[in-house]
Structure 1
Amino acid sequence: MKIPSFGTIVTVLFLVYLSNLFYSIWIMVQPPRCTEEGLCLKSFLLRKPNLELHIFVSSRSNPRGSEVIYLNNYPIPNYDEPYERSIDVKLPKSTTRNGTLYAHVFLSNTKDAPVSGDLWSHFLSNHETVYTLVPMSVYKIPEYKVFQLLNNDENNQKRLEKPVTHIKAVMPVSMMSEPLMLSQVHMPSDIYQYIRRYRQRQEYLPIFLHNYLQDRSYNVTNIDRKNPSVPVLLRYLPISYAELRILTQTQLAMGTMKQFGFKDKDIDEIKAIFDTNHYLLLVSILVAFVHLLFDFLAFKNDISFWRSRKTMAGLSSRLVLWRAFSQTVVLLYLIEEKASMLIIVPTVISSVIEIWKVFKIIPVDWKRLRLKQVTLNRAEEDTRKFDAESMKYLSYVLYPLCIGAAVYSLVYEPQKSLYSWCIKSLVNGVYAFGFLFMLPQLFINYRLKSVAHLPWKTFMYKAFNTFIDDLFAFIIPMPTAHRLACFRDDIVFLIYIYQRWLYPVDLNRLDEDVEITEPATDKTKDKMM
């Protein structure tokens, strides 16, 4: 019985895990059904009430009545449709002095709202209102200003500033608008915390909460001490039971991610994935897992190919050196630009593999710390000659373009620092002209009229991932240069595929550099006689 390969086993396990994941998601978004009438809770929304929002702000999350500022009430015309209203938020004095700000939002029936009196105490004591807390302040350190490196003006120098309070430009709140019958026995714990009984009956008040997925740390407004008020967009979004489960589960998961060191920018980029249609979101999840599988199989086949490779015949050494250099530069650039961890982590793995390949083609004697002597066969000498010939032609175009672009950036474009200019110039050369370094391999294939020496399994996995990257280039935020590089790789892979068709592998042809050790057959002996 033939034992399945490691790649087959991993693929099967991946498909089983993916099926279980989608089944778990389907179970999660199904509302708990009632089995017995006495254990069911009806929705208060079945009464068709007229709802409105009452908003207070304060500098503390648990203030006293004298510390809150009442903004206004905002009726919701139709709680099944999104609703937005621009409001002017008056800031407490402590907030303008680099303090915090919280919004206290009450959802109540219009007929229960008092005309005058202590509104704060009324809504706190009223058992027919629901409440949510929305943090509205963010502490941010202003980024270093960019400046001309060749300009010595003292006003252009970097200054370290303390974190200052910024106010979020959007106040997002949501309510589950589906009037579902919920089971008290099978109700999930993340939903149970938002359930409030209506007058101790078998009814629950509307599930109302802060929409965490609509918060963005970058969508903030500076505080002007001369004008102690800021414009804020009140955004009401009705959600279904499925969206409510996704919201609560994602909020718990992102809280855990922050404990593991994820920054607000990384969290914002994950939130952005959920700002789409549910079906497109499921497709994105599926594509992301397929991308992860292809990444693993590409890395596995790439490592296997290079571990078993004993000769560089037909392979461009300069391409290997360039890929190691370019991957390292891209990694430094992504770190400098504070890109998403979703982009940085695969780049780290690719950089390690490319550097490992360099030591495969340039063997090092680590005991004596010197390069080992390598004897080249005829095929390797031909490959090296073709490689050098192609690079000679490319150098006439590549080097002037890279140097000219770096000088132009230094003279005319503002920079953060000298290090930033160096990394940016290198990565611009990698992104804009780096694909030219892939051409020597195409030239070697053309001169040898063969592609049999290439790791085609790895190439095909990377080709599929390149087309998947094109899709994610529009979904995951990333630097523009990195996004354009995804489309650049498509062209190179298409040329490789064309050469694969143009130079088919002849399975009956013997490799001239391989020694034949198998005994000759009788038919061969007859021909030799």
Structure 2
Amino acid sequence: MAPPAAAGGGGGGGEAGGGGGEQPQRREQGGFSLTGIIRIAVFWYFASKFFSPKKPSDPSLLTSNLFQKGESLDMWVYLSEQERFNDFGSEGALVWHETGIPYADWGPRSTRSLSSTYRPSEALKQNGSLYAHVFFARSGYSPDPSDPEYQPLSAFGKTHPVVTHLPKSRADKKKRLLGGQEESDGAGSVSEVTEEDKDEGPVEWVPYWKPNITINLVEDFTRYPRNAVPPNVAPYLNVEPSTESYYPTIFFNEFWLLKDKFIPINETVDEVPLNLDVGPISMTKWQLFLQIDQSFQVHRSYGSMLEGESDELKRVFLEGNPYLLGITMVVSLLHSVFDFLAFKNDIQFWNKNKSMEGLSAKSVVVNFICQLIVFLYLLDNDTSWMILASSGIGCCIEFWKIGKAMHIEVLLRKHA
């Protein structure tokens, strides 16, 4: 589903990027992360094809979707500060009601949108919580279990937090290299830091409002073996106990919701925007979003992706020119290929070289020192791993060439 035009869609991430001087490095890091994402997605596809369990021949051992394609659904969206919701009669909690939504249908009526505002309560301003309770039911049926027309096999729902709590950002600090330590208060003035100021105390958590709620119904009519549901689907499958069939999967799509779109909630906030979207999503696209988010988490856990780089990568796709992105990827690939060929030719030449005629040993040493300085500079500035690996390999080759250009001996003298 395309991201909303108001704020860029629905998907969470880290800190937004810094100044313009860091953009080249950010784009290189995004290119490296994209390579890992594609590798993981391809591996997941082939693993699911070749290692997925075989379906049993007996249809009674298979679990299927309780709803049919194109079936008409009604939707209710409630906002409540309670994680468990049962106040279906509250008109103040109901923020959106839609009827006649065709399930897994890609027609013009399958996608609906609503833009409004929400007034946070005093409890929410005081570091409270808020949840969106979304319910679907077959047209003509009620999602309220206390209603006489309620049918358990005809209604389903899911809860999603609308407010997330993040640590409060601290004021930027500066250190005086010559002299005492100083601290910036964020307004341009600098004050001396005392011993009491060094202990900042516990982390303060602040509630942030998510302005976009994108509700996707996954188009999934697969007949899964009851005891062998694929592990990438099992955590999200809502199985009905009596029939052992599953309800349609509700996916709150926050993939394109960047962190800089979050709105901090405090005593001065009287109202916040609320953009609601509902529509179908294909099984392939849903799994791709899940795999990409999982790959971001893996990169962050291994330290190959800094906090906030996932948002920068998404921003490149949201705001960048697709043709320019394609050219950048091709140039990056060619850069790696040419680096490999240059390293190969350099190693072959020095490995076969038996004479230093026409060559300077001092220039080899100077090249190594220069290459080492460049490598240390890139390492200190958190450069892309692709550029860092290329510079590191070049530095190792220059060091190896010193041994080929000069005869080095280490003499150990024994003292009487």
TM-score norm. by structure 2 comes to 0.56
Alpha-carbon distance in structure 2 between the residues aligned to 1:307 and 1:62:
71
Q: Assess if the C-alpha contact under 8 Å between 1:134 and 1:210 holds in 2.
A: no
Q: Displacement, 1:240? A: 1.1
Counterparts in 2 of 1:194-213, with a 5 A limit? 194-196=236-238, 200-201=242-243, 204-213=246-255
Residue of 83, 88, 110 corresponding to 2:117: 88
Q: Displacement, 1:143? A: 6.9
Report which structure shows greater RCO (CA 8 Å, sep ≥6). Answer: 2
Q: Assess if the C-alpha contact under 8 Å between 2:162 and 2:209 holds in 1.
A: no
Alpha-carbon distance in structure 2 between the residues aligned to 1:208 and 1:84:
16
Partner of 1:347: 387
Structure number with higher strand proportion:
2
Residue of 158, 169, 173 corresponding to 1:131: 158
Alpha-carbon distance in structure 2 between the residues aligned to 1:254 and 1:57:
31
Q: Displacement, 1:156? A: 0.2
**Count of residue correspondences:** 329
Q: Assess if the C-alpha contact under 8 Å between 1:57 and 1:71 holds in 2.
A: no
Which one has the largest radius of gyration? 1
Task: Specify every segment of 5 or more residues in structure 1 that has no aligned partner in the other structure, as ranges.
Answer: 1-16, 336-342, 369-529
Partner of 1:106: 135
Q: Assess if the C-alpha contact under 8 Å between 2:368 and 2:398 holds in 1.
A: yes
Alpha-carbon distance in structure 2 between the residues aligned to 1:239 and 1:352:
44
Alpha-carbon distance in structure 2 between the residues aligned to 1:168 and 1:54:
15
Closer, same or farther in 2 for the Cα pair 1:190/1:233, shift >3 Å? same
Alpha-carbon distance in structure 1 between the residues aligned to 2:334 and 2:80:
45
Matched, 1:51 2:74: yes
The superposition leaves residues 145-204 of structure 1 with CA deviations (integer Å, 9 ceiling, x where unpaired) of: 699x9xx998304798955332223223321135x2423355413323433456945854
Closer, same or farther in 2 for the Cα pair 1:264/1:132, shift >3 Å? farther
Matched, 1:313 2:342: no
Letter in 1 for 2:282: S
Partner of 1:304: 347
The superposition leaves residues 462-496 of structure 1 with CA deviations (integer Å, 9 ceiling, x where unpaired) of: xxxxxxxxxxxxxxxxxxxxxxxxxxxxxxxxxxx
The superposition leaves residues 448-470 of structure 1 with CA deviations (integer Å, 9 ceiling, x where unpaired) of: xxxxxxxxxxxxxxxxxxxxxxx
SS in 2 for 1:218: helix
SS in 2 for 1:206: coil
Alpha-carbon distance in structure 1 between the residues aligned to 2:211 and 2:70:
34
Closer, same or farther in 2 for the Cα pair 1:108/1:163, shift >3 Å? same
Report percent identity of matched pairs: 14
Q: Assess if the C-alpha contact under 8 Å between 1:136 and 1:171 holds in 2.
A: no
TM-score norm. by structure 1 comes to 0.46
Counterparts in 2 of 1:285-300, with a 5 A limit? 294=337, 297=340
Q: Assess if the C-alpha contact under 8 Å between 2:173 and 2:184 holds in 1.
A: no
Partner of 1:246: 288
Partner of 2:271: 229
SS in 2 for 1:112: coil
Counterparts in 2 of 1:91-490, with a 5 A limit? 91-113=120-142, 128-134=155-161, 136-142=163-169, 155-157=187-189, 164-177=206-219, 180-185=221-226, 187-196=229-238, 200-201=242-243, 204-261=246-303, 262-269=305-312, 294=337, 297=340, 301=344, 304=347, 308=351, 311=356, 313=359, 324-333=372-381, 335=382, 344-356=384-396, 359=399, 360=401
Task: Specify every segment of 5 or more residues in structure 2 that has no aligned partner in the other structure, as ranges.
Answer: 1-38, 177-182, 192-199, 412-416
The Cα RMSD (Å) is: 5.6
The superposition leaves residues 31-80 of structure 1 with CA deviations (integer Å, 9 ceiling, x where unpaired) of: 9978544335245133622331413242x6568979x9824124275553
